[in-house]
A and B are shown apart, each in its own frame.
Chain A
C-alpha cells in the first residue's frame, strides 16, 4: 500500500467515521480513499469549502464523541491552527494528519520536516500541546493512526500523525490490523440530553481566574502525558561514539548510514524519536551515554536539534545537518559521520 492509503485504511479500521478535509498535495490520496471507502461503512466524508471550514467541522463532529479526523499538508495545516487551538482547549479527541512538504509559504510539494516547531511547540494560539507521532514506515502509518484514536480518547486531546510527503507516497507491503469493534462510550459527548444533565463544550471563560484554573488542568494533563507516553527507538547506540538523531523517513535513511559506517569500523548509532511531543528526552540522553558527538539530521534548517540539545543538556556536543525538500542519500549522511570521526581522531592525534 501507499503510505496515505495505509493511513486512511487504518483510520477506518480504528472506527473513524467522519473525515472533513480539503485536498492538497501530497496528502490528497487520504481524502480520496476516505471519499471512496467511508460511505461504505456508514461514515461521512465531507470536503469543506476550505481548511478552516473542515477543521471546524472536525471540532463539531468530535464533540459528538465519534472518531473523526482531517488530513492536510503543511500550508493547509497552517490554516487549521485556529480550529486546532479550540479543539485542544475543548479537550476533544480527534486525529489530525500532516503529510508535510517544504515551506515556508507555498514552499514546494516535495517532502519536508519544517513543521516540527508548529507541531510540537503549539502551532495555534494559547497554551496547549498535541500528541505528535512520527511514523517511519508504511506499516507505522497504519499502526500509529489506529493508536492515535486510542491516545486521543485516553487523554481527550487532539493527536497529530506527522509524516513527510515521501512517506505518504511511497509503497511498502504491510500487515493489515484487526478492525476495532468496540469504541468506548463518552459520557461528556454531545448526543442529545434527553433524560440526563446537559453537556457543554466550550472554550470561553469570562473570568481570568476561571481560565487559569482550566488551563492548569490542561497543564497537568500535559504533564501526565509527558510522564507516560514518550517513545523512541535506539539503534546500535550501546557503544556508539556518534549518535545520529532523525525522525520519520529520515530515520530510515540514517539507519542505512549507520550500517555503512559500522562496515567502516565507525561506532555509529541512531536514535529516532517516535513521539515528537512529548519528546523522549531521557531516552535520547540514555542512548547517547557513550557518544562523543550527536548529529541531528532533518529536512529543515534545524528545528528538532533544539530538543536534542535539551535532551543532553550540554553533556555532548550537538551538530546539525539539514536539507530542504531534497532527501539526502545514506552515503551523504555517512560523509558527515566520517567527517566528525576524522576530526575527533585528528584532535586526539594532536594530544588534545
Chain B
C-alpha cells in the first residue's frame, strides 16, 4: 500500500495546492491521513495556511505552528519523526528547489523504511527554469541530489493561473510529456483546475486530477 506521497519541484510549481487537494482526495477513502508541510524555506502561500480547513475535515496537519509558523527559521514540525514511524498515509509538501529538497534528504531513510512511497516531480512548464528540457533536467538533478532520492513519477501541472485556457493546458502538457520521456518517468497525473476538466477530458490520456485552488486570495482574481 502506498504510504507516502511526496510533492517536490521548483519554486511556485504548484506543489502546495496539489498537496492540499491530494490529501483531501485521499481522505475520502482513508480513515486517517496526514499532510506534512515541510516548506521551511518560505512561509508565504504555504499549505499550512489551510490548517483549519483540513483539521475540520479530520486531516492531521504536521507543520510548524504557533509562533514558529512565520518565524523565518527552518523549524521542522515537532511530530514529524513520530508520524514517520507510524503507518498513517502521509502527503508531504516540500519547499521549492534544492533548499526544500535538502530537508527531505534528512528524512528520506525513514520514509523509505516505512513502506511504499511516490516521489513526484511537479512541473509547470510555464514557470521560469521549467520552460525547456536542459533547465528541467538541471532542476531534476539538483532536487534528486539534495533529497537523496530518485523521482518515481511526474505531476504535470500546466497552467497560467487566470490566463489558463484549454490550449495552454494541452500545449504545456505536451512539453511535460517530452520531459517525462527524456527522464524515463511516468506521468502519474495531470492537474487541471476543476472548471477545465470536461474541456480537456478526451484530449489527455493520463489521469486527470481536478484542482480547486485554495491558497490564492480572492483579491488577486480577475
Chain A residues close to B by CB (< 8 Å): 1-2, 5, 9, 25-26, 29, 33, 36, 108-110, 165-166, 169-173, 252-253, 256, 327, 329-330
Contacts and interface: CB of A to CB of B under 8 A. Distances in A.
A2 B12 contact: yes
Given A2-B11, A9-B128, A173 B162 contact: yes
Contacts of B12: 1-2, 171
A109 B72 contact: yes
Interface residues of B, number: 20
Contacts of A170: 44-45, 220
A2 B45 CA distance: 12
A29 B163 contact: no
Given A2-B12, A108-B70, A256-B219, 11 more contacts: A2-B11, A9-B128, A25-B72, A26-B44, A109-B72, A169-B45, A170-B45, A170-B220, A173-B126, A173-B161, A327-B219
A106 to B, nearest CB: 9
Contact of B220 (A33, A110, A252): A252
B186 interface: no
B145 interface: no
A313 B219 CA distance: 32
B43 interface: yes
Contacts of B220: 170, 172, 252
A6 to B, nearest CB: 9
Contact of A330 (B42, B44, B128, B218): B218
A108 B70 CA distance: 8
A166 B163 contact: no
A98 B217 CA distance: 23
B101 to A, nearest CB: 15
Given A2-B12, A25-B42, A110 B70 contact: yes
Contact of B218 (A169, A171, A329): A329
B219 A169 contact: no
26 contacts: A1-B127, A1-B128, A2-B12, A5-B128, A9-B128, A25-B42, A26-B42, A29-B11, A33-B128, A36-B129, A108-B70, A109-B43, A165-B44, A166-B44, A169-B42, A170-B45, A172-B161, A172-B220, A173-B162, A252-B220, A253-B219, A327-B217, A327-B219, A329-B218, A329-B219, A330-B219
B107 interface: no
